[in-house]
A and B are shown apart, each in its own frame.
Chain A
Amino acid sequence: MCKRILSAIVIIALFSAVLGGCQDANEIDAVVRVLVIGIDKGVTDKWRLTVQFSSMKETPGGGGGEEGGSTGGGTGNGYSHVTIDAPSFFEGIDMLGSSISRKLFFTHAGTIIISERLAREGILGDFIAPLIRYKQIRESAQLYVVKGEAMDFIVENQPTIGNTLSKSLELAAKQPDNTGYTISVTLNDFYSALKSTHGQPIMAIAAVNDFKNFKRDGPRWKNEFKKGGEYKPEDLPRHGENKIEFWGTAVFNRDKMVDELTGGENRLLLMARNEFKRGFFTIRDPKSPDRIIAMDVLKDKNPKIKISFDEDGPVIDITIFLKGDILSIQSRIHYEEDPLLSTLVTALEKDIKDDLDRLINKCKNQGLDVFRFGESAAKYFATIEEWEKYYWNDKFKDAKINTKVDFSMRRTGTRLRSSPIPRLKGEE
Chain B
Amino acid sequence: MTMKRRTLLALTLATGLTAPGIALAQADTIKIGLLATFEGAFTVLGEDSERGAMTAVDEFGGMVAGKKIEIVKGSSDASPDSAVRAARKLVEQDGVKILVGPLSGDEGIAVKDYAKTHPDVTFLNGSSAAQDTTLRDPADNFFRFSTDGAQWMAGLGTYAYNDRGYKKVATVAEDYSFPYTQVFGFMAEFCKAGGTVPSKSWVPIGNKDYSSVIAAIPDDVDAIYVALGGADAVNFLSQYNDAGGQAPLIGGSITVDQTVLTAKGRMRDVLIGTPAAGPTADTNDSQAWKDFTAAYKKQDGAFPSPSLFAHAYYINMKAALLALDKVGGDLSDDGAKLRQELSTISFETPTGKVSLDSNRNAIADMYLTEVSEAADGTLVNKLIKVTPQVNQTLGIPTDEFLALGAVSRENPSCP
Answer whether A and B are interacting partners. no
